Structure 1
Amino acid sequence: MDIYAILQHLRSGASNRGIRRELGVDRRTAQKYRAWAEEYGLLKGTLPPLEELYQLVEETLPVKEPPQSQSTVEPYREVVVKLREQNVEISAIKARLEERGYQGSYMAVWRFVKQLEPVQPDVTVRVETAPGEEVQVDFGYAGRMRDPANGEERKTWAFVMTLSWSRHQYVEFVFDQKIPTWLRLHRNAFAFFGGVPQRVVIDNLKAGITQACWDDPQVQATYRECAEHYGFLVAPCKPRTPQHKGKVEKGGVHYVKRNFLGGREATTISQANRDVRVWCMTTAGQRAHGTTRKQPLVQFEAVEQAALKPLPETPYDMAEWKQVKLHRDCYVVFDNAYYSAPFRLVGQRLRVRGGSQEVRLYTGDYHLVATHERAREAGERLTNPAHLPPDKVPGLILDRAACQAVAEDIGFSTTALVGRLLADPVMDRLSMVRRLLRLREQVGDERLEAACERALRFDEVSYKTVKRILSQGLEAEGENVVTAEIPPAERFVRGAQELLGHLWSGASWN
């Protein structure tokens, strides 16, 4: 009841009936205030300040409260309090009270509990930031747009990055929310602003946060790398609290939907991105913002742009991180290509960082174990021979030309022997040549060359002969014959009498 309004009518000479007609106050109530005002001299002269007037009312004109009936649950107050401290539901509390003799209704218990636990108002505290301190990022569904590649309409999302101080914003439409897209959008937005804020506030989408946890959120590895490159801090919102990034939630995504996309006919995504870039600099940038009452673009150019961190010399090399298994052939599969890793890690899961120029392989604790150039086409196999078991390497890298080159490096005789083996028109002797050339690791080039020279001298061109020469140390024995000595040839081994004794007549045998 407005006591000040009643006093004004009383001081103007209005009757109780007139006050009832003007203010809706009962005539008896009006008479009570008239008597009270006369008692304290309030009908004439200057009224005291408003706060003193209401204090006088509280002290001298107390309001009689209607009598309150006691709740039927009151005798069980201690029991109810104890059960609620244990988070027991109201229906269960009623059952426990009935066990103690309670005969009242469920609503009586409900009202009693609500009086014990008054609802706290949902209070929102607005947080303001300094220029260049923060941007807020969000995705919002933007309907369907045509794909320029094939003309088909596809689901589209609006990426919005809003500077928290000036409210200037960057908008781009995309067909997905994958990690490469997420990183490319950040790079484009920072280039649009010409600088980097200190902090980026995001929600908990998988491209940025792998584990949404308020106490210890896990930042996606690629996004962490991007943040380190540009020098900004990642600030994830508490799960299911979109109000923590309200500047982009309401003034960004919703504004884009209502204003730029509102009533817009379907178009290609490339055309929409060209148009929205202009819209950010005109309609959105030059409007009087509903909260700040200032033009975002003007505020940005006058103050906030200079407060941003400078861009790094080179844009972030967008990389994709994956966990993959190192298979028994010593290769991992990444983006439909094959990359080798040390054979000792076969069976383990490795972390792969795929950049635009190179691919790096790490152990689970981020220890770098391999670096390769990025494959240029699907199915390409990139191999570092040092990653393979030593006994398997020659069979992989020594083809016919490579074997001939190795032989030439050893010497003339080795080259000749290898050439004769590879020239066999019937048998493929490449594996024999590989085993022969591996002998240099055991005996050295000089001994292998001497052994090949001896084998050629006796026309024994084989791996087994060369190896036997080396094992017996015969490569340095000059003209010694390698094989067993052949006895002199005879016309017949047996005599004529032995063969034809029953025909022997003493005649000579021609």
Structure 2
Amino acid sequence: MFEVRQIIQRLRMGESIREVARAQHVGRPTVKAIRIVAVEQHWLDPLRPLPDDRVLAGFFNGPRKAPQNISSIEAYRDEILAWHAQGINAVTMRRALHEKHGFQGSVDSLYRFLRREAPDLSVATIKLDFPVGETAQVDFGAGPLIADRVSGECFKTWIFVCTLAWSRHQYAEIVRNQSVETWLACHRHAFEWFNGVPKKVRIDNLKAAITKACYYEPTVQRSYAELAQGYAFLIDPCPVEDPKKKGRVESGVKFVKNNFVPLREFHSLAHANGLLQTWIMGEAGNRIHGTTRARPLSLFTETEQVLLQALPAAPPDCATWSKVTLHPNCHVQFEYCFYSAPFRLIGQILWLEITPHALRIYRDHDLVAMHPRLFRHGDKSTTDDHLPPDAQAYLMRNPQWCIAQARDIGAACLALVESLFAARVLDNLRAVQGLIRLSDQYGRRRLESACARALAFGAPQFKTVKQILKQGIDQAPDLIEAAELEAPYLGTGRFSRKTTDLLH
């Protein structure tokens, strides 16, 4: 309407249609059409005020004329609009139309059609403001694929980004997972990087932080809640499916992914993080930010850093919690490592408190076990007192214990035990343990005598000694002399008899 008003004003000043068209860069038919309406409404009279824009719009903003040429898109109107409603982009639509219908039009024709037929009806938003030092926003984004030159392993990574909402200075770290332990450690590293703690941390509803998302009262993960208490910050989750409430860190993640990651080679996780931190303190921290028109690092060091909360004197343990069940083998499992707990709790629900250096096991609020933290898969930490009595007895009665007991009983018992342990085929630990236990029933003196008789007969076995004791043979006076045992073999079987004896 501003252009229409300018044309009418020039006509009121007496300029010709040609002069007005040349000055306003419009066609003479357009000026002529406006002049006709202006004459009919008496707008060319210099003594009358010009009408406002609403009145002018009623005369010159009528319905558009239909295009004379039919667009090549019209034949696929319904299909394109349906795809647009699903969020499919124009490039993908153009490829699908070409494959299905042989469409030869350009992507630009699709853009023009969508701008005309499906304009973007965006919802109005407001710009959020954050006081100095009050809020940090954190999020994860997909990181680069790293091929470790030492181990040869190729693994996927994630980028943790923490952005201070006022200065836009940020901390970023490349990690291998989004576990609770990693989430807590990244927060601690970020606070140490800033040498201070913001009053609030705005997060998304990821499982490492929020166990149950809710608009009004979300449930915070236990470990994250303890970390927030230790560092004295408030957790500020975004509403469900509304990441725009933390748009500054969303932009920060994109900035790292689009400006740091491309065209760089990373030899290891440590190498990648070293390059990333150098880049943040250099190029990223000293750029002119598009919104603040200032350098994030300068805003942080000159203003925001001194307004952050001080770090605690002793950093809180970044403990994570896990609910487990005690298995019948008296061990719980965490990350493929095994830790023992008292056997009386088998089948019960226990809580694990995991720190970087220790693992504690709780039954309700009672601490029932504590172990050093294990990391290699399959490793086991066992406290003997956690095992049932029979298992403890078995573990305590090792070969060294058995030899010591046999030595106390006597020389014959020691010789028989050493003979059993010298076997090259069978592990005779249980047999030796059973042999030693015979002293509880028959006494050490009789056991020593039975062992001597078994050795004399060349049968150093547990069952032989047990039968000797059971039948009382160890107490018989007619002990066979060793010389008789060394007599040469006469060629007769054990149960053979002479023919004369059988026929007598």
Q: Same fold (TM over 0.5)?
A: yes
Pairing 1:210–2:227 present? no
CA shift, 1:349, in A, is 2.6
Indicate conservation of the 8 Å contact 1:136/1:162, yes or no.
yes
CA distance in 2, matches of 1:342, 1:155: 39
User: Aligned residue for 1:253?
Assistant: 253
Secondary structure class of the residue paired with 1:324: strand
* Structure 1 residues 208 and 428, CA gap change in structure 2 (3 angstroms): same
Partner SS state of residue 143, structure 1 = coil
User: Alpha-carbon deviation of 1:326?
Assistant: 0.9
Task: In structure 1, give the amino acid aligned to 2:42.
Answer: W
Residue 232 of structure 2 corresponds to 231
1:343 and 1:175, CA in 2 relative to 1: closer, same or farther beyond 3 A? closer
Residue 366 of structure 2 corresponds to 368
* Structure 2 partner of 1:192: 193
- The letter of the residue matching 2:334 is F
Q: In structure 1, what residue type is equivalent to 2:142?
A: Y
CA contact (8 A) 1:19 1:27 kept: no
2:326 corresponds in structure 1 to: 326
Secondary structure of the 1:36 match is coil
Deviation at 1:164?
A: 0.6
Match of 1:395 among 366, 373, 393: 393
Counterparts in 2 of 1:109-508, with a 5 A limit? 121-250=122-251, 252-363=252-363, 366-375=364-373, 378-383=378-383, 385=385, 395=393, 420=409, 425=414, 428=433
Distance change (3 Å), C-alpha of 1:349 and 1:422: farther
Instruction: Tell me if structure 2 keeps the 8 A contact 1:324–1:333.
Output: yes
CA separation of 1:421 and 1:212: change in aligned 2, threshold 3 A: farther
Encode CA deviations 1:354-376: one digit per residue, 9 max, x unaligned.
2233322234xx52342313155
Matched-pair identity in %: 37
* Equivalent residue pairs, number: 368
Q: Partner amino acid for 2:52?
A: Y
Structure-2 residue corresponding to 1:27 = 32
1:403–1:26 Cα change, 3 Å: same
Q: Is the 8 A contact 1:134 1:201 kept in 2?
A: yes
1:371 and 1:216 mapped to 2: Cα distance?
A: 34
Task: Name the amino acid aligned to 1:125.
Answer: I
C-alpha contact 1:372 1:382 (8 A) present in aligned 2? no
After TM superposition, give the deviation of residue 38 of structure 1 in Å. Answer: 4.7
Q: Partner amino acid for 2:274?
A: R
- SS of equivalent to 2:145: strand
Displacement of 1:14 after TM fit? Answer: 1.7
Secondary structure at 2:283 match in 1: coil
Partner-residue secondary structure (3-state), 2:160? strand
1:160–1:434 CA distance, 2 compared to 1 (3 A): farther
Decide which structure has the larger Cα Rg and report it: 1
Amino acid aligned to 1:30? R
Following superposition, the deviation at residue 322 of structure 1 comes to 2.4
CA contact 1:403–1:433 (8 Å) conserved in 2: no
SS at match of 1:37: coil
Tell me, yes or no, if the aligned pair for 1:17 and 1:27 is still in contact at 8 Å.
Answer: no
Alignment partners' CA distance in 1, 2:127 and 2:57: 40
Cα distance, 1:277–1:394 mapped onto 2, change above 3 Å: closer
Residues in 1 aligned to 2:163 and 2:329: alpha-carbon distance in whole angstroms: 49
Query: Whole-Å Cα distance in 2 between the matches of residues 188 and 423 of structure 1?
Result: 67
Give the secondary structure class of the aligned counterpart of 2:127. coil
CA distance in 1, matches of 2:172, 2:344: 48
How far apart are the structure 1 equivalents of 2:120 and 2:155?
A: 46
TM-score, normalised with respect to structure 2: 0.61
State the shift of 1:239 in Å: 3.7
How far did residue 65 of structure 1 move? 9.1
* CA distance in 1: counterparts of 2:244 and 2:125, whole angstroms: 9
Local SS of the residue matching 2:288: coil
Q: How does 1:4-43 map to 2 (within 5 A)?
A: 4-16=5-17, 18-19=19-20, 22=24, 23-24=26-27, 25-34=30-39, 35-38=41-44, 41-42=47-48
The CA deviation at 1:434 is 12
Contact 1:353 1:361 in 2 (8 A): yes
The Cα shift of 1:400 comes to 8.6
Residue type of the alignment partner of 2:128: V
Match of 1:485 in 2: none
In structure 1, distance between residues paired with 2:387 and 2:319: 27
1:96 alignment partner in structure 2: none
Unaligned runs of 5+ in 2: 64-118, 417-431, 448-504
Q: How far 1:397 sits from its partner (Å)?
A: 7.8
After TM superposition, the structure 1 stretch with the greater mean CA deviation from structure 2, 419-428 or 133-142, is 419-428
What's the CA shift for 1:193?
A: 0.5
How has the CA–CA distance of structure 1 residues 239 and 423 changed in structure 2, closer, same or farther, with 3 Å as cutoff? farther
Provide Cα deviations, 1:28-68, integer angstroms capped at 9, x if missing partner. 4324325533557247xxx8xxxxx627x64x99649979x
How far does residue 298 in structure 1 lie from its aligned partner after superposition?
A: 0.9
Matches of 1:130 and 1:431, distance apart in 2: 79
Q: Structure 1: 5+ residue runs without aligned partners?
A: 48-52, 68-117, 405-415, 437-454, 462-510
Greater alpha carbon shift after TM alignment, 141-150 vs 375-384: 375-384
* Aligned amino acid, residue 147 of structure 2: R
Q: Is the deviation greater in 393-402 or in 202-211? A: 393-402
**1:54 partnered with 2:52:** yes
1:268 shift after superposition: 3.7
Q: Find the aligned partners of 2:295 and 2:59 in 1 and give their Cα distance.
A: 52
- Relative to 1, partners in 2 of residues 1:403 and 1:156: Cα closer, same or farther, differing over 3 Å? closer
- Shift of the 401–379 alpha-carbon distance from structure 1 to 2, 3 Å rule, reads same
Q: Flag the 1:294–1:422 CA change in 2: closer, same or farther, 3 A.
A: farther
1:18 and 1:200 map into 2 onto residues whose CA distance is 64
Tell me if structure 1 keeps the 8 A contact 2:162–2:190: yes
Letter aligned with residue 10 of structure 1: L
Q: Partners of 2:362 and 2:175 in 1: how far apart?
A: 31
Change in 2 beyond 3 A, CA 1:41/1:196: same
| CA deviation after TM superposition for structure 1 residue 248, in Å | 1.4
TM-fit CA distance, 1:194: 0.5
Secondary structure at the counterpart of residue 283 of structure 1: helix
| Cα 1:396–1:302 shift into 2, 3 Å | farther
TM-aligned CA deviation for residue 299 of structure 1: 0.8
Distance 1:233 1:223 in 2: 11
Shift of 1:219: 2.9
Query: 2:106 corresponds to which residue?
Result: none
Report deviation, 1:286.
1.4
Amino acid at match of 1:280: I
Paired letter, 1:374 = P
Deviation at 1:339, TM superposition (A): 3.2
Partners of 2:8 and 2:44 within 8 A in 1:
no
Q: What is the Cα-based RMSD across aligned positions, in Å?
A: 4.2
| Residues 336-358 of structure 1, C-alpha deviations (whole Å, 9 max, x = no match) | 44434344432123221122333
